[in-house]
Structure 1
Amino acid sequence: MTGADPALAPAVPPARPDRRAWFVLGVLCFVYVLNFLDRQLLSILAKPIRDELGLTHGQIGLISGLYFALFYGLISIPVAWFADRANRVKVLSFACALWSAATVACGFAASYPQLALARMTVGVGEAGGVPPSYAIISDYFRPGTRGTALGLYNLGPPIGNALGVAFGASVAVAFSWRDAFIAVGAIGVVTALIVYLTVREPPRGGLDIPADAPQTAYEPPAKAPFLATCRMFFRRRVLLLVALATAANQFITYGSGNFATLFLMEEKGMTLEQVAIWYSLLILFSMGGGIFFAGRLVDRLAPRDKRAYALIPAIGLTVAIPFFVAFVWAPGWELAMIMLIVPFALNYFYLSPAVALVQEEVKPNERVLAGALLLLVMNLVGLGLGPTWLGAASDWFGAHGHARPLQSAFYTLVPFYGLAILLFLLLARAIRKEAAR
């Protein structure tokens, strides 16, 4: 072995992940819960924030969508490049501390510009959260178990969203929306310290060597060049298509998700107390179940047919369409919530397969940057344009005399289901062609 210290070579672990791997996965999942809770708290508390600061639907869409996504997506690239060369755990702990402090600042915002600036800073911090975590998990779990591990990790969004609804709405009812931001941010600062003290940096690519290989077979990979990795990502048809397909998918999930609470309260008649109970439970079990089930499904089916990475989300979106339309149409919140169960599960079938596919398709020293490039495309299109589109559409329908402008805006998301399905089918064909070569 050349250029490697034998002391750095990891012992060949058993096929099943050890206790340390599960502990790290649990800690990183909790960080992701806070990441998503901080990110979604604004949309969850949109009604009281809008009432106090006098914001329009369009302004809510911009600060929860485009403004946030621009900073989140663009900053994630240099952060990922640095993390591929540095200690990924330290990058993650610093990022968690930064976004949590910015969340506290949201609670003190007295105007729209102040709130927008604080949200942009949250985006800067969260840029260092998910891509390093993807790579750390991939170095604690062997191929063949990563779909399940990443599926469990990706329970962070539904748990964070559900806790945000339950906790944020409850605090807003008992105290104020400001107290919810301050409390969540303070918890995040403490969590950042826990990550720094308890999570060890794993050897890059240590579990990508064969399980029966000698211990000396491990050699730390060379640092991947930035521009070459970016070119590789966007030139490989499979990687480009998975980014575009998930971006179209996220246009739907972020567009509808960032306005769902406001929609249920303004046009379906739910109260904040009802949202805190029923909507949070729906997010936790429906969205969480969909993400975890898709991860398990891809671990079972992809070894036999790699197209499963694309066909699982395509089938899920196809089944979800009529239930989404019924949710938007439903005259009362009770029926709307029942109809929302199916799309909230199936709309998220894309997440675990997409992340697992990218982590499997690139070299170990490219994983953080590749994950960041995937998130860049996903978030600039999905998070950046989805809520912005929906908010602007609602303002347009309202200005043109529509009695239920937000409901009309929700209907405009239906064509994007068709676009996402088409892109996933193209991805399946690209996977088949690449496998044949």
Structure 2
Amino acid sequence: MASTRVPTTEVDKPGAYRWYVLALLTATSAFSVADRLVFGILVEDIKADFALSDFELGLLGGLAFSLVYVLAGFPAARLADRSTRKNIVAAAIGFWSLMTAACGLATGFWTLFLARTGVGVGEGCSGPSSQSLVADYFSRAELAKAMGYLTIGASMGTAGGLIIGGQLAEIFDWRWAFILMGLPGLLLGGVIYLTVREAPRGRYAPPGTDMAQLPLGRTIISLLTNRVFMGLALGWAVQIMIGYGLAFWMAAVMLRAFPISTGDVGLYLGFTFFLGGIPGPILGGYVTHWLCLRDERWRAWLPGVVSLGCVIPLALSLTSGSFAAFLGWFGVAYGIYVASQAGIMSGIQASVEPASRGFAVAIALFFNNLIGQTLGLGVIGALSDGLATAYGTSALAVAVFGVCLVSGIASLAIFAWTAAQMGPSGYLEKMRVG
């Protein structure tokens, strides 16, 4: 079935209803990341209560979450490509919020592992629908900027998880921190269900685009053989080892490096994530938009450059003996890192057909969680345990930097290859026509 242009309505007008939807989806991203990464500020308390190693903490932060995140993501994405996406998002928020609260009831490693898998199920169902909705509320010309604003949610969630989670842990304990962080998401899910309207699917697709959903097998083959999509997805997965490593482990690095309380670490580190993570995505979205008006390959070139570029201030942060310098250089590193996300996310949406956008996001998030979260966090934890004899309390910082450096170099190479595929694959011609 060929698509047709939809007459201009309220959602097409700048500053109108679509910005309200984007704000709610950004809040969804913030709640998702906060509930996922609040674990990072609580790891030292959990480690002490349950007598866990850094490797076991890495499994709880990575494998427990990402294993089911990716398994839930594929059927949810398939559903997102054929049904009402805002309902999927609303239901997902409600479920992961309850499971975040359930983490506070854990009695040991395995019960906490199971609760974390529940968080993964809920969050795995929301991402494909959210990004697909944004792509139908904003034109291709505006998509990088819109994705930049959506990325702010991750920075807000990281900061909120650290600040609020740290304060709750200090006022109460780590169990109540999980419970009180989880429950507010139920309200957001209700607001989305009651007030968000489903956007026409493929609204901004080029005229004549086939909107019929392909059979599952053909959808998978078409995406796995799409070199631009696969390059962006794999580059993102390798690059996001940096993001997960910083968001999950930096609180523990600070607690081991400086004489400071959990609450203060959450406060200072959270505000640093906020100050670096808010302007970074916005600036990155506008810079990506400006550069892509000149050459679409900047959707891959820019992420490659910043992937390696952010490692330099990270090194200055981790080797600093000053608390202020540690935070300052870390804020610079994180701000540079998140500036790349708009290009990657908008490039993924632009490189695939509207009828397979949700499934494309699910595949990208599969690689993100398999490589970036499960492998990245697990390797950092294992390296920290292995280096403890030689480096003592600095072992975790050494492990974080080593993994981030390798990730930066590898993702630069992948994104450079992806940019080279954009001409031969027909991507550049498609963007000129669209």
TM-score calculated relative to the size of structure 1:
0.92
Separation in structure 2 between the aligned mates of residue 354 and residue 11 of structure 1, nearest angstrom: 29
- What is the SS of the residue equivalent to 2:369? helix
- Which ranges of structure 1 fall in alignment gaps of 5 or more residues? 211-216
- 2:408 aligned counterpart, secondary structure: helix
> For the Cα contact (< 8 Å) 1:77–1:372, is it kept in 2?
yes
* Residue aligned with 1:269, SS: coil
> Counterparts of 2:15 and 2:61 in 1: how far apart (Å)?
39
- Pairwise CA RMSD: 2.1
1:418 maps to which residue? 409
The alignment status of 1:122 with 2:119, answered yes or no, reads: yes
Shift of 1:31: 1.2
Instruction: Please tell me whether the aligned partners of residues 30 and 156 of structure 2 are also in contact (alpha carbons under 8 angstroms).
Output: yes
Matching residue of 1:375:
365
* Alignment-mate amino acid for residue 67 of structure 1: A
**Aligned residue identity for 2:356:** E
Are 2:317 and 2:325, in contact at CA under 8 Å, matched by a contact in 1? yes
For structure 2, the 5+ residue unaligned runs are: 430-434
Q: 2:283 is aligned with what amino acid? A: F
1:341 lines up with 2:331 in the alignment: yes
- Checking the alignment, whether the CA contact within 8 Å between 1:58 and 1:388 is kept in structure 2 is yes
Alignment size in residue pairs: 426
Instruction: Please say if residues 159 and 271 of structure 2, whose CA atoms lie closer than 8 Å, have aligned partners that are also in contact.
Output: yes
**Is 2:168 the counterpart of 1:171?**
yes
Q: Distance in 2 between matches of 1:341 and 1:147?
A: 23
* Equivalent pair of 1:17/1:141 in contact (CA under 8 Å): no
Indicate the residue corresponding to 1:214 in structure 2.
none
Give the Cα–Cα distance (whole angstroms) in 2 for the partners of residues 312 and 342 of structure 1: 17
Counterpart CA distance in 1 for 2:151 and 2:422 is: 23
TM-score if structure 2 supplies the norm length?
0.93
Paired residues of 2:251 and 2:266 also in contact (CA < 8 A):
no
* 1:319-330 to 2 correspondences below 5 Å: 319-330=309-320
Q: Distance in 1 between matches of 2:90 and 2:393?
A: 47
Q: How does 1:38-437 map to 2 (within 5 A)?
A: 38-209=35-206, 221-399=211-389, 402=392, 404-413=394-403, 414-435=405-426
CA offset digits 1:71-122 (Å, max 9, x no partner): 1122201110122111111111111111011011001112111111000110
1:11 matches 2:28: no
CA distance in 1, matches of 2:326, 2:146: 32
In the TM superposition, structure 1's runs of 4+ consecutive aligned residues that sit over 4 Å from their partners are 13-16, 399-403
Tell me how far 1:63 sits from its aligned partner. Answer: 0.9
**CA apart distance, 1:233:** 1.4
Query: For 1:91, what is the secondary structure of its paired residue?
Result: helix
Q: Is the 8 A contact 1:246 1:350 kept in 2?
A: no
The alpha-carbon deviation at position 333 of structure 1 amounts to: 2.5
Displacement of 1:416 = 2.1
**Partner Cα separation in structure 1 for residue 282 and residue 235 of structure 2:** 19
CA distance, structure 2, for counterparts of residue 243 and residue 376 of structure 1: 9
Q: What is the CA-CA distance between 1:285 and the residue it aligns to?
A: 1.8
**How far apart in 2 are the matches of 1:67 and 1:133?**
23
CA contact (8 A) 1:309 1:353 kept: yes
Question: Which AA in structure 2 matches 1:115?
Answer: L
Percent identity between matched residues is 27
